Amino acid sequence: MPELPEVEVVRRGLESWVAGRTVAAAEVLHPRAVRRNAGDLPAQLKGRTPASAERRGKYLWLPLRDGGPAEGPGEEEPGEALVAHLGMSGQLLVVDPLSPIEKHLRVRMGFTDGGPELRFVDQRTFGHLLVAPMTSGPARPVPEPIAHIAPDPLEAAFDDERFAERLRLRRTGIKRALLDQSLISGVGNIYADEALWRARLHWARPTETLTRPKIAELLAEVRAVMTEALEQGGTSFDSLYVNVNGESGYFDRSLAVYGRRDEPCRRCGTPIRREAFMNRSSYSCPKCQPRPRNARP
């Protein structure tokens, strides 16, 4: 469930609660949580200090400095980062080290200041943590394993023109393209449906039939719905998605179509429909978003 706004909420929490603190010890309680990591995660983290909290799309990372929290002058090496993806149900929680162990606790990390520890809790185990080198070069440094992900639409590096060009070269449906993280990152099933409703586009609309102005409108709606969700702390349907303090956002009250099967469209009152799509659900308004004749699954 966590998409860009939810991950950004978590990033802000990490920035204020974890950055600048030195790792005393880390413990992996479930091997699947570190399946993409190349080494021994506790050894890689011990004695290192997350300098900040960064994000691209749904990926988070904490650039790692050696040694203590003191900020040193001089050239910064490309270095390494602790990378996190929350998957479907991952949570990064900042909690008292003595608080009870969560049922699905996968990784925990204590700090030398003896303060709150960082816990990675993940019921469905699609999320993971890893330590990885950063890319070097003129572009924004990102962890190497996520270098294939496109910038997200709230990033300065996102290129609207390039997105429009690549989108029109695709031969697929617009929603499939929105969910392709190598084209645009950070969009998941919920915000794809919401942005398509706002732009009055059916999910199966062939990408090559979209005009430049329509693509610009869709991008504007993607940004608008994500920004609004962020202002409300994100979307949550159950207790699975929470910020680092365990609190849920409340953007779900503002959703126009997602999860609203048979409820009236907020624009025209027509009952919202649910359709199967890519082994998941698509919600749309039959009147505002008519299915195109040349629909593409």
List contacts with DNA (CB under 7 A).
Answer: 1, 3, 32, 36, 57-59, 85, 87-88, 103-104, 123-126, 145-146, 148, 169-173, 176, 179-181, 188-190, 258, 274, 276, 278-281, 296-297
Closer residue to DNA (CB): 268 or 278: 278
Helices 212-231 and 160-169 meet at what angle, rounded to 10? 120
Q: Which is nearer to DNA, 70 or 293 (CB)?
A: 293
* Distance separating alpha carbons of residues 297 and 278, to the nearest angstrom: 8
Residue 214 is a catalytic residue: no
Residues in the chain: 297
Q: At what angle do helices 4-17 and 212-231 cross, to 10 degrees?
A: 40
Q: Does the annotation mark 213 as catalytic?
A: no
**Is 286 one of the catalytic residues?**
no
Smallest gap from Cβ 72 to DNA, in A, equals 32
Of 55, 58, 176, 205, the catalytic one is 58
The minimum distance between CB 201 and DNA, in angstroms, equals: 16
Q: How far is the CB of 74 from DNA (least distance, A)?
A: 33
Residue nearer to DNA on the CB measure, 274 or 287? 274
Q: Check if the beta carbon of residue 203 is closer than 8 Å to that of residue 187.
A: no
**Selected catalytic residue, list 31, 71, 213, 280:** 280
The reply to whether 58 belongs to the active site is yes
H or E element at residue 281: strand 280-284
**Cα–Cα dist 229/5, whole Å:** 6
Token duo for residue 12: 């802000």
DSSP state of 264: B
SS3 labels along 219-232:
HHHHHHHHHHHHHC
Residue 245 Cβ vs DNA, minimum distance, rounded to whole Å: 21
User: Which C-beta is closer to DNA: that of 170 or that of 200?
Assistant: 170
What positions carry a catalytic annotation?
2-3, 58, 280
